[in-house]
Structure 1
Amino acid sequence: MSKKKLLIQEVFEKGKRESGKETKSAVAVYLWSYFDDHFSPSISDKTFIRYHDAFIRDDREINIDSDTLNKMSQYLGYKDFPDFSGTFIKKDEATDKTTVKISVDRDEETLSEKLSNIIINITNEQHFKMPDFLKQNGLGIMEIAFLACLVTGNVVFSNNKKVADGFSSPLGFVSNMESGADKKYMYWNGERYIATDSSFIRPGLEIKAMNVHQWRNFRKVMRKDTLTDVNALGRTWYSKYNNEVEFFTDDGTDPDNGRELRKSTSLIIYKYAGKQKDSIGAEE
């Protein structure tokens, strides 16, 4: 499968999960709306359908400009299309390449500090198997790291350089999995706070100082119809503006309009989310 076809397939799969839609057209409309809010210029629903028909339905390649490929890759959580192409591994496909991240305690001695955040790419014609003597003797993490280095000669350090042949490669997927709590800033993407090191991303985005609690816990509930008294009462907060109600997973203010959030009640859940049979009381 080509990387472009894989990208289109994954974009539509994520769109299905997020929107709850099943048809190609409905998912394409959702993707258009999402990209219109998060990228400039956007990608229209007709363009998404054209890509789907070509790559998925007809199994043929058509030209896609690099900017569009980068945007779709970023939607999936990657830096750009080369990052996606070099690091994405299809979960249900057999692969002969395994990416392993090894982290070393920062309080270790100098050598350990230099070897922190090692990434080992193990490539072989057969699937990599841990030798029996490793299982029996239980070598430590540093010994395993050095052994893998010696066997493969394919090690990427945190400065993005690979020892042995000087090839430079982005950390990509593994970097995206690392904690963002050590970053200085964050911004609201319409659903959650995204950690960043930059004080400026693009016009229209408000960058604020990192608040680790908000970054980890504050989310907008994107599927309000799934809320019930059982899963939402006492666990969610809401913002009401122009008769529109949005629900959140933590207390604070609505990042979109600055309004103070209020604790969700049975009546609010009944009227604006999942309906409960025994909801009583008056609207706050």
Structure 2
Amino acid sequence: MHKELVLSAFKKARKEVKEATGVNMSVTGIAKRISDYMMDECHFQYHEKSLRNKYNLALKDEQDVELKSSVANCLCCYLGYENYAEFIMKNSIPLASPEIVENIIIEEEYPPKKEPSIGEKLKIVIQKNKVTLIFCSLIFLLYFGLYMVNRQQWMVWDTDRYVEVQFDVEKYGLSNLKLYKHERIKKFREVKPDCNYLFFKSDGSENLWYQKATNGEVTFFTSFGLHPETGKTLKKITPYMIRKYICETY
């Protein structure tokens, strides 16, 4: 069902690498490139080994390939299509009858309801007990504040780094004051890397982290942690993100 989709995605990736570097990348390298795209743009992980296996299966004439709808739709986005239904219609894929296309569209528009996860169930419980939760939170914050103000050091985010400050709610605001951490003060910085930046350490581990905002803006940091303004967990840098946002020739 998805054979042509997999072959088309690998064909595009191979062409992009060839045009950018002049080198014919291996199947494993191409699978890694597509896997990075899925993580960065579709926000889920699909391992390069699985992609490579699907590609090898697609090369066999007598074999078909089946993908989850999320994986298929992400590959369609990579190829410039809105969804799998548009892909098969515009490419005249064999056996793509109107009935099959209609079923695919219906499946995409009306996905089956899923059983709520443990996290979702917990969220419902929290919402039902919101008043109690808020009251308990206020009591905890009051106790925590009274106890910690005189015992802890504090820091706030200033432009591109954390700086140590005195506890002053009127000046900084309670939400901006963070408990002092020497490692954050010493090593955590927001940076604007270029092609000369050392993206990976000598042992291959990451030396840069990032966050992509909803408006498309990407910010980069020197250490792992939470974004100082949004509070979201930073992501490890990948070759795909380097080529797209920092250095096209990487």
**How does the TM-score come out when normalised to structure 1?**
0.32
Structure of higher RCO (CA pairs closer than 8 Å, 6+ residues apart): 2
Q: Relative to total residues, which structure has the larger strand share, 1 or 2?
A: 1
